[in-house]
Structure 1
């Protein structure tokens, strides 16, 4: 599939941090604490946001191939719910990293409340400049992180800290068609809202991972399972009477809810879960 990509300049971590704080304030509880897509059987699946996002966590975690005593890196951990769920269900030790300090504090509090503070450690770190030694993790996972990063640099960074044979599981949106001017015009506002720097097709991920020394072992298209996630995001704010063009955050920059609806309606946008294995040599 030749879907092309969208690419802009890098976004500083401070911009990403403020963006997510603003969006959390805007969409409230509609998004749930996990900050990633929900996994549903189809449009008539009435699972709650919490149920759906936990399903997605389980879908990704099941592909890590880890167990008790394994060391796992959660890249872009958000509020830490998936990291804690992973540690509790599989017995793995998790290092959860993010650039969002508020999310990291919430994650640490959640881990402590669940009695998992010894199993899950939270740390502020840049995914492209990881403060860990080579081959120090058995596996890594990333929920919807790659649009914020240059994928070539991302896979190179993760490959360095994975042991040979270790797995990386990436869940991300992707473009299903070539990025024509018309398609770019419809989805670019959403990407700008999230300070996304790239929007890469699966083949771009596979190529970048291969150059970094990783081989793809599974690719699962989850487009139909996540399509409803963004339209659901707009329901809560609209039911509370929030204007579609309301701004949020001290910057006063408009963060229109309409961009979520446009993204949700874009048949050109898909979702995929990819599993990679670090090659032995």
Structure 2
């Protein structure tokens, strides 16, 4: 290879790497700004996450005594606020990150590829938010009620058993559930992408439906508290999303077949 050809090949690669670095830099700056803003409101955001538990404790009445959350490490609350700020900062800046990904890959895509890729960029954060909303408004109240049912008042010589939740442990559980539900709701995006590249098909997903349903309940048992209502609340939406994925894969295959027929027709006419 001549020096001229080598330089022509090297230069576009360097330009792509420079642009990638720039896009990543924009994303990191946006995340840092979002983190600072959320850190300022970290206590309010943490109160928002604690609210489902606080409402249940208030509803259970004052006869159980003064209720509180505790921390046993001097730095625990500070680092919990950092985690809360990063969690919400990443969530609110996710569209900026996805837009930078789009701006980086879009120039190298054909028009039909851009039309195919854009819905996934939009659908991914929407589905994650839907899963997070489901777990916050539906699962948390059910799960916290289940766990609080193990409290005892104490009779005679028996000591009462009451919840004194640790700040960092509560946040860890909440973040785990939110991420689990958000990621599970990405199923239609994942399966549609696999169908688009030919690694999955609607017929294949139909034939494996019964195995998928079993797998969904296993995942729900792992990621949710051990009460049946929480597990069903996660399993049923995922099964519905699996059915939606089958239909989306079918339409992708139909569109791809029509495109291939059109290309073959044009080649035959020539």
Q: In which range does the TM-score fall when normalised by the shorter chain?
A: under 0.3
Larger Rg: 2
Please give the TM-score of this superposition, normalised by the length of structure 2. Answer: 0.19
Please give the TM-score of this superposition, normalised by the length of structure 1. Answer: 0.18
Structure with more strand by fraction: 1
Structure with more helix by fraction: 2
